[in-house]
Structure 1
Amino acid sequence: MNSDFHVKPEIRILGIDDSALLNEKVMIIGTVFRGGDWIDGVLRSEITRDGLDATETMITMIKNSRHYGQLRIIMLDGITYGGFNVVDIEELYRETGLPVIVVMRSYPDFEKIRSALRHFSDGEERWNIIKKAGKIEKLFTGRNEASIYIQKTGIGAKSAEKIIRLTSIRSSIPEPLRVAHLIATGIILGESRGRA
């Protein structure tokens, strides 16, 4: 069901990003935000580099969190974490009951992704998860005419756009993802780096 719903200014959002790929285990960080300007909590878990456990790990991390009952939206920074550990956004939505918005800075290079997946014995399975994530839509965030790309499940286009605009207050990337990125890279590298 991709319905639109009333977006409150303090809607509880969980943004999830991963850390640098330094080891076989890759840290993922979730930040719980109220709207775009109030952080309520931080979640942490680990996935396997290039594994296929990201979806299940995220489901467990979310459902075991004391924030779970208040969360209304999950935001992901793309659908591949820890290298090519692909997140099944439909399963994430189904198992948590929370709509998912995937945010990407640029349009994915599917030829390059498909080529990289040929190195995996289960590459076809990963490719199918990527394909079923749905249509990629371009969205203007209202900040310096910057655009991002999104995929979504469990939420209508209008609500997704409202949430992106509400939370993109310091850059074109929503705060829950920007802060998750800063925390994840800071913990692993000793100081946050990269575009946040």
Structure 2
Amino acid sequence: MLKVKPEIRVMAVTGVQLKRLHLLGVVFRGGSWLDGLVKMSTRSHPVKALNRMIKSSGHYGQVRVVLADAAYPWRVKFEDWGWLAEKLSKPVILFCEKPCKGLSLLKAGFGRVWVKAFKLSLQESLRVIEVSTALPPLPEPLRVARMLAASLTKALGNRVL
């Protein structure tokens, strides 16, 4: 059972596909403080690259939950996310604010969200999402990760990377 404190450290991950896949991870304390940012470029399997990126991060020891952007087309199976949760020894939550195939509907205090949780119950994942959300419907770490991904796409879109 995961103890969800108000300042739980959550790492949200998303990606940007240019010539290579650029992975972004944003670490937040609850929904209040940005603790760090990690980035990795890869041509390998995205979930294996996420494993390397998260484990090599200086925040790895403090991160309690990984929140993955289900709206990003990862092109991987659900089993791969379970593999990631096992390798990291941390729960992984796939999150989407719109209906997504394979994700379960949860009713949060601010509306509906769709999630798939690995190494975590749906109730615990709902608590993590509620604690890390400052401006509904997105948890703050994921909102910032998506903003940075959009900026990276604009900034690097014309360059060959």
TM-score w.r.t. the length of structure 2 is 0.87
Match of 2:109 in 1: 142
- Calculate percent identity across the aligned residue pairs: 27
Q: Which amino acid letter does the alignment assign opposite residue 156 of structure 1?
A: S
Unaligned runs of 5+ in 2: 156-161
Match of 1:174 in 2: 139
**Of 103, 106, 125, which aligns to 1:160?**
125
Match of 2:13 in 1: 16
Q: Give me the whole-angstrom Cα distance separating, in 2, the residues matched to 1:149 and 1:69.
A: 27
Match of 1:78 in 2: 70
Q: Which structure has more strand as a fraction of its residues?
A: 2
SS of the residue corresponding to residue 70 of structure 1 reads coil
1:108 is displaced (CA, Å) by 2.5
Match of 1:36 in 2: 31
Q: Which amino acid letter does the alignment assign opposite residue 55 of structure 1?
A: V
8 A contact 1:138–1:148 mirrored in 2:
yes
8 A contact 1:54–1:86 mirrored in 2:
no
Match of 1:91 in 2: 83
Q: Give me the whole-angstrom Cα distance separating, in 1, the residues matched to 2:72 and 2:134.
A: 25
Q: Give me the whole-angstrom Cα distance separating, in 1, the residues matched to 2:121 and 2:112.
A: 19
For the aligned residues, what is the CA RMSD? 2.1
Q: Which amino acid letter does the alignment assign opposite residue 137 of structure 1?
A: S
Larger Rg: 1
1:119-138 to 2 correspondences below 5 Å: 136-138=103-105
Going from structure 1 to structure 2, the CA distance change for 1:81 and 1:54 (only over 3 Å counts) comes to farther
SS of the residue corresponding to residue 68 of structure 1 reads coil
SS of the residue corresponding to residue 93 of structure 2 reads strand
SS of the residue corresponding to residue 113 of structure 2 reads strand
Q: Give me the whole-angstrom Cα distance separating, in 2, the residues matched to 1:92 and 1:156.
A: 16
Q: Give me the whole-angstrom Cα distance separating, in 1, the residues matched to 2:3 and 2:132.
A: 15
Q: Which amino acid letter does the alignment assign opposite residue 105 of structure 1?
A: E
Q: Give me the whole-angstrom Cα distance separating, in 2, the residues matched to 1:6 and 1:92.
A: 21
